[in-house]
Amino acid sequence: MKIKKRTIFRLIWFSLVTIFFIWQWTTYQSRNLPVNTFDNDSKVTIEETNDEIAFLSKSSNYQNEIIFFQGGLTDPKAYAPLCRKIAENGFTCHLIKMDWRMPQWDYKKIETMFDLKNGKYIIGGHSQGAKMASLFVYENPGLMKVLFLLGTSHPRDFDLSGRNIPSIKLYGELDGLASVSEVMENKNKLPKNADLIEIKGGNHSQFGYLGKLLTDNTAEIDLDEQQRLTLDKLIDFFHKIENEK
């Protein structure tokens, strides 16, 4: 009887663990992408390789290009709609695919993908991708032109306050993974004069086209609105940088 109980317990345990991991994996998949996300048109051309999905802008003469790091474990395609919108507004955007979806293992690959010394690259990302973008800036002073961060408490473990790089951080009022209190706690480690902008009613998950991630709070605005606000703030900031040439 003891053996039967133990066997039943193990079956239940492994079943619950399996269900949990399947549910977790599902929430990190991209979903509900706009139907035209990967279509070529008069404004954007899409080129995909093993290392990136490039959204090549054909609508302006802006020289700066965006390097976008995906969040940890997330399907990179979850950020494709935002990257496409960035390109439609005139900035070529490179959405980097990380091996095993882990930016902390693969973030340095951009050193061989791009001629970073030409001074035209804007780097950033979401969540763990934002952490690794800020770490890349920390490790390579003066190399990147601009830093943007979405839904992250970083820089947390290193200090960028002495760096003179134009920076912007967007954070969700209801972010359950990078809370407002954590963002505020580490704001003094951002580059000086960084713009810090709260997305009212926004959460962590809706910076991408994802399911609701574990421990995240329910947003009070819908996905389209959070994406629109994020895009507007980023494009305004990028334009400001262009106008300061």
Spell out the domain ranges in the chain.
31-243
Structure tokens at 197: 């902008």
**Residue 165 · residue 191 · CB < 8 Å:** yes
Q: What is the pLDDT of residue 19?
A: 47
- Residue 127 scores a pLDDT above 60: yes
- Residue 220 scores a pLDDT above 60: yes
**Residue 172 · residue 199 · CB < 8 Å:** yes
- In CATH, the architecture of 31-243 is 3-Layer(aba) Sandwich (3.40)
Task: Give the helix/strand (H/E) hosting 7.
Answer: helix 2-27
Q: Where are the alpha helices (DSSP H) in the chain?
A: 2-27, 80-88, 103-106, 110-113, 128-139, 180-185, 223-243
Read off the pLDDT of residues 6-21 as tens digits, 9 standing for 90 and up: 666 666 665 554 544 5
Structure tokens at 147: 């830093």
- Residue 3 scores a pLDDT above 90: no
Q: What is the pLDDT of residue 238?
A: 97
Instruction: Give the position of tokens 């439609």.
Output: 88
What is the band of 26 on the pLDDT scale with cuts at 50, 70, 90? Answer: low
Query: pLDDT over 90 for what percent of the chain?
Result: 80
Structure tokens at 155: 């820089």
Q: What is the pLDDT of residue 60?
A: 80
Read off the pLDDT of residues 56-112 as tens digits, 9 standing for 90 and up: 999 887 889 999 999 999 999 999 999 999 999 999 999 999 998 899 999 999 999
Q: What is the pLDDT of residue 20?
A: 47
